[in-house]
């Protein structure tokens, strides 16, 4: 997509006079995404425990699916035959597919990586798989997401500087090859800025990628164990080097307070498994009390809602005592009810942040979350 | 409840001229139940994988919860403090609690049974528990279901005649003690006919219980492994001995075709774990193709609905290929979607049977299910 198209694709409606926060609209082939946005994670073409209709009701307008997992099972050919990922999972709004780089480089059975690509073994059946930047773009074109990203090579924390530089330069080169390979005009292609926690590498990556016409920019390789000050330092030095007229996506972050901090740094898009994963493990979010371990005996006769301030169906219809019972009895409904609430909670935080930006009161809103 | 009250509680609207089938309305403290009715099983105060609102949408108007399980966890005292079982689980319609007899007598660690009651060990924590008919009524009064049943002593199949007779006579005596102990006037108390597969014992039990003013009659101790002809023989000889103006409930049966056969024998009420349990194991019901194992490779690229004739959201929104993917990926959504469909399927069969009875065409309807 050309820079001209990209400029029209993302409209900044308001910027905070006191912070880097901004409210915008990102136009995709499956509707508008109002930013700041939280994208629930639907790794295997389902946001765990929720129906597409529930995600719609909650206000989700973009979800994230995983290229690596869907390539291995059920395979992009099947999904293409099903009419694409949207039809396969019956989700009418936008989808972002990540590249699979994070998953591939998390594998123990990683076989080989060089400038050409990466060879690894499937975690499902041990078969040898080969990913190149071009192959990963082709997979994502077959899946048909609205927003796609290039194959990249994340490094963990702490990272050896030479390894981090090699991976950053390779990821940048792979991003350019992806831009060249990408053909579907109805998909937005984002780049991923790397460089671990080395400021000069982050700057080099941001500059190299900002010079090319990507439709948006991801901040990758963060939230991998580094101290929080390092995370925000990397965000703070990267964001100003990216084009102001493109969306910025901080991958894999985080808790609600961190999302609000990210917004203050000028981040537009977020994804994280926390609201869904924690829900399955018994943890619910509440505005005044923070995270609640709903399995705890303290809630056994607590007949108040998970979050008394929350209007979601879980909080309107069910008590903490009932949720605790469901967890203790290992009932599926526990995961359903609390996942709904947690995703609703995240999206309400994003909505409130957006309204504050539009109203010119975001700095005050941020204070309330510190 | 007096016989006069009971007579008003159950209104037979139509009877089939060719079979024993009948359409009726059972009035409870939480609304009317149109019969024939299928009651989804919500053992632990949740119909596994479904929300109360979904059960309502499907058309369920009575569910079954389990006295044994709820007594052990979370305990009837907690549920009473929560405002009763309806409020605890947020279900506005009728609830039937079974007695726990079936569960207690299925335990390996059953300690002792005599005419007074039964001593057993909790399957959860090994604590010694003691159930008497009076205690089980008190538990069910605390839980607050609309329909309750006495503690009973089922026997397996095949059963020794002497053991079956002892258990039948004991269960009958326990039913009379339960009638005497029961105080809540807003609850209907059903009796349970026993006698294994011995015709004379079944007749003795039915006669003894029919002579007393129970609000309804369960056929218990069936569907425990006996040949199907024996099951239907016991139903056929029991039903005519029961008061025509009280509902008849065939416990734990069965597949849809068996429910229709039960209706033809004059049964009004059914419960069974099959639609929910099979859904979690990958099995979906379809009208034309019977039971489908959705995990099968045959469905990997089948982009048709689970049941093309079904209007439920699962069949309207999702394909067999997607359901198979969800099962293979062990996603919660598989259980949700197929449980919804299977329960919907069962309730649609009941609704269609009822309409056929009211229209005078049930015999033909039954033929289509044979």
- What is the complex's ipTM, to 2 decimals? 0.97
Instruction: Tell me what pLDDT residue B109 has.
Output: 77
Q: How far apart are CA B269 and CA B37, in angstroms?
A: 5
C-alpha pair distances (Å), A314 with each of A224, A301, A309, A359, B90:
32, 17, 12, 30, 10
Instruction: Tell me what pLDDT residue A4 has.
Output: 44
What does DSSP assign to residue A202? H
**A242 and A259 in contact (C-beta within 8 Å)?**
no
Per-residue confidence at B2, pLDDT binned at 50, 70, 90? Answer: very low
B157 half-sphere exposure, CB direction, 13 A CA radius = 16
Interchain contact B336–A (C-beta under 8 A)? yes
Instruction: Tell me what pLDDT residue B231 has.
Output: 98
Q: Which two tokens stand for residue A96?
A: 């972002």
Say which residues have a Cβ less than 8 Å from residue A87's Cβ, sequence separation at least 6.
none
Query: Which of A75, A84, A331 to mutate to probe the B interface, most B CBs <10 Å?
Result: A331
> Phi first, then psi: what are they for A166, rounded to 5°?
-60, -45
**B337 and B318 in contact (C-beta within 8 Å)?**
yes
Query: For B178-244, where are the E strands, in sequence order?
Result: 188-193, 216-219
Nearest residue to B324 via CA among B301, B353, B308, B357: B301
Mean predicted confidence (pLDDT) in B341-370: 98
Say which residues have a Cβ less than 8 Å from residue A234's Cβ, sequence separation at least 6.
A195, A197, A199, A202, A219, A222
> Phi first, then psi: what are they for B211, rounded to 5°?
-75, -10
Q: What is the largest CA-CA distance in chain B?
A: 60
Residues 131-170 of A with CB under 8 A from B: none
Interchain contact B82–A (C-beta under 8 A)? yes
Q: How far apart are CA B118 and CA A155, in angstroms?
A: 63
pLDDT less than 70: residues of chain A = 1-7
Strand partners, B285: B291
Place of tokens 């299928």: B38
Interchain contact A74–B (C-beta under 8 A)? yes
Q: Do B335 and A332 touch (CB under 8 A)?
A: yes
What is the least distance, in Å, from the CA of A78 to any CA of chain B? 7
Q: How far apart are CA A101 and CA B241, in angstroms?
A: 71
Q: Do A317 and B49 touch (CB under 8 A)?
A: no
Query: How many CB atoms neighbour CB B244 within 10 A?
Result: 12
Nearest residue to B38 via CA among B64, B69, B10, B13: B64
Instruction: Tell me what pLDDT residue B8 has.
Output: 77
**A334 and A342 in contact (C-beta within 8 Å)?**
no
> Chain B: residue nearest A320 by CA?
B88
Give B51's contacts in chain A (Cβ within 8 Å): 333, 336-337
Instruction: Tell me what pLDDT residue B111 has.
Output: 82
Interchain contact B72–A (C-beta under 8 A)? no
Measure CB to CB from residue B322 to each of A48, A81, A89 and give the nearest one.
A89
Residue B7: pLDDT above 60?
no
**A96 and A145 in contact (C-beta within 8 Å)?**
yes
SS3 sequence of B254-294? CCHHHHHHHHHCCCCEEEECHHHHHHHCCEEEECCCEEEEC
Q: Do B300 and A329 touch (CB under 8 A)?
A: no
Q: How far apart are CA A24 and CA A95, in angstroms?
A: 18
Name the burial class of residue A138, with classes exposed (0-12), middle (13-18) and buried (19+) by CB atoms within 10 angstroms of its CB.
Answer: middle
Query: For chain A, where are the E strands, in sequence order?
Result: 10-15, 22-28, 31-35, 37-40, 62-66, 94-98, 110-113, 118-121, 128-131, 147-148, 188-193, 216-219, 248-250, 269-272, 283-286, 290-293
Interchain contact B92–A (C-beta under 8 A)? no
What percent of chain B lies above the pLDDT cut of 90? Answer: 95
Place of tokens 């004991």: B170
Instruction: Tell me what pLDDT residue A27 has.
Output: 98
Active centre residues of B (catalytic): 98, 271
Average pLDDT, chain B: 96
Q: Do A331 and B73 touch (CB under 8 A)?
A: no
Mean predicted confidence (pLDDT) in B13-40: 98
Q: How far apart are CA B66 and CA B101, in angstroms?
A: 10
**What is the tens place of the pLDDT at every residue in B99-138?**
889 999 888 777 899 999 999 999 999 999 999 999 999 9
**A336 and B336 in contact (C-beta within 8 Å)?**
yes
Interchain contact B19–A (C-beta under 8 A)? no
**B30 and B92 in contact (C-beta within 8 Å)?**
yes
**What is the tens place of the pLDDT at every residue in A38-57?**
999 999 999 999 999 999 99
Instruction: Tell me what pLDDT residue A1 has.
Output: 44
Domains recognised in chain A with CATH numbers: 3-272 (3.20.20.105), 273-370 (no CATH)
Instruction: Tell me what pLDDT residue B3 has.
Output: 45
**What is the tens place of the pLDDT at every residue in A333-367?**
999 999 999 999 999 999 999 999 999 999 999 99
Nearest residue to B143 via CA among B217, B290, B42, B53: B42
pTM: 0.97
B348 Rama class: left (phi>0) / alpha (psi -120 to 50) / beta: alpha
Instruction: Tell me what pLDDT residue B4 has.
Output: 44
């Amino acid at each position: 997509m050309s820079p001209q198209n990209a400029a029209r694709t993302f409209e900044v409606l308001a910027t905070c006079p006191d912070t880097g926060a901004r409210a915008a609209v990102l136009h995709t082939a499956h509707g508008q995404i109002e930013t700041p946005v939280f994208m629930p994670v639907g790794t295997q073409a389902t946001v765990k425990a929720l129906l597409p209709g529930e995600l719609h009701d909650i206000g989700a307008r973009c979800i994230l699916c995983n290229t690596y997992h869907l390539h291995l099972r059920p395979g992009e050919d099947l999904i293409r035959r099903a009419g694409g990922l949207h039809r396969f999972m019956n989700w009418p709004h936008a989808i972002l597919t990540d590249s699979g780089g994070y998953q591939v480089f998390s594998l123990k059975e990683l076989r080989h990586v060089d400038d050409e690509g990466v060879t690894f073994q499937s975690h499902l059946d041990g078969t040898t798989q080969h990913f190149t930047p071009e192959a990963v773009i082709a997979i994502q074109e077959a899946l048909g997401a609205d927003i796609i990203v290039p194959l990249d090579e994340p490094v963990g924390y702490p990272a050896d500087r030479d390894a981090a530089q090699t991976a950053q330069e390779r990821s940048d080169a792979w991003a350019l090859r992806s831009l060249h390979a990408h053909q579907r005009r109805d998909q937005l292609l984002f780049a991923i800025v790397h460089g671990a926690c080395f400021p000069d590498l982050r700057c080099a990556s941001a500059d190299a990628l900002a010079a090319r016409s990507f439709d948006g920019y991801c901040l990758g390789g963060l939230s991998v164990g580094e101290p929080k000050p390092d995370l925000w330092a990397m965000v703070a030095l990267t964001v100003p080097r990216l084009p102001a007229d493109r969306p910025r996506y901080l991958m894999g972050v985080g808790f609600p307070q961190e999302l609000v901090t990210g917004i203050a740094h000028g981040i537009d898009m977020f994804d994280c498994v926390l609201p869904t994963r924690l829900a399955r493990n018994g943890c619910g979010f509440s505005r005044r009390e923070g995270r609640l371990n709903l399995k705890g005996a303290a809630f056994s006769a607590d007949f108040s809602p998970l979050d008394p301030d929350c209007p979601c169906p879980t909080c309107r219809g069910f008590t903490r005592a009932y949720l605790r019972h469901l967890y203790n009895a290992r009932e599926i409904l526990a995961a359903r009810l609390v996942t709904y609430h947690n995703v609703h909670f995240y999206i309400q935080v994003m909505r409130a942040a957006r309204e504050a930006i539009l109203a010119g009161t975001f700095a005050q809103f941020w204070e309330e979350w510190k």
